[in-house]
């Protein structure tokens, strides 16, 4: 097995795994009902990135001898319910909500980077934070474009 992680590092891995399960569902839910094809494509692209995050974090947990958080078994259903509710308020509400979740992810990855010492974990968190920031930037532009 790889060098052990501190309990804090393992805890953050498990938390990010849950967060990324939710993020993947958020982008998937009701996407095929979107009328704007470009937006649907963009959200599909983002969703694929979140699936990659989710699955890699899951592999990291196993690699370092941990188990996913119990709540991860319910995260998918929970996120689908929340995403469906948000969708009732329209596309802009959806984008704003997705942006808020991404901002939380960026904040959490930044906090985790202040604590994590393991190099492999750090480079993963840094890479993922960059992806989430990119998602925020694109959606912010989409929201601004819709305003004009």
> Can you give the binding site for Fe ion, defined by CB under 5 A?
20, 23, 50, 53, 102, 132, 135
For the CB of residue 136, give the shortest distance to Fe ion in the complex, in Å: 8
* Closer residue to Fe ion in complex, CB, 3/93: 93
CB of 96 closer than 8 Å to CB of 143: yes
* Closer residue to Fe ion in complex, CB, 4/80: 80
For the CB of residue 148, give the shortest distance to Fe ion in the complex, in Å: 25
* Closer residue to Fe ion in complex, CB, 1/95: 95
For the CB of residue 104, give the shortest distance to Fe ion in the complex, in Å: 10
For the CB of residue 40, give the shortest distance to Fe ion in the complex, in Å: 16
Task: Label residue 136 exposed, middle or buried (CB < 10 Å: 0-12, 13-18, 19+).
Answer: middle
Task: Label residue 89 exposed, middle or buried (CB < 10 Å: 0-12, 13-18, 19+).
Answer: exposed
């Amino acid at each position: 097995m790889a060098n052990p992680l501190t309990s804090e590092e393992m805890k953050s891995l498990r938390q990010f795994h849950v967060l990324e399960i939710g993020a993947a569902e958020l982008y998937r839910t009701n996407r095929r009902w979107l009328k704007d094809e470009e937006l649907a494509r963009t959200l599909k692209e983002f969703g694929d990135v979140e699936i990659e995050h989710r699955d890699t974090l899951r592999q990291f947990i196993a690699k370092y001898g941990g188990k996913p958080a119990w709540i991860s078994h319910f995260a998918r259903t929970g996120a689908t319910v929340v995403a469906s509710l948000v969708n009732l308020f329209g596309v802009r509400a959806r984008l704003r909500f997705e942006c808020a979740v991404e901002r939380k992810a960026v904040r959490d990855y930044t906090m985790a980077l202040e604590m994590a010492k393991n190099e492999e974990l750090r480079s993963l968190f840094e890479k993922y934070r960059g992806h989430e920031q990119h998602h925020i930037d694109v959606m912010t532009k989409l929201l601004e474009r819709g305003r004009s």
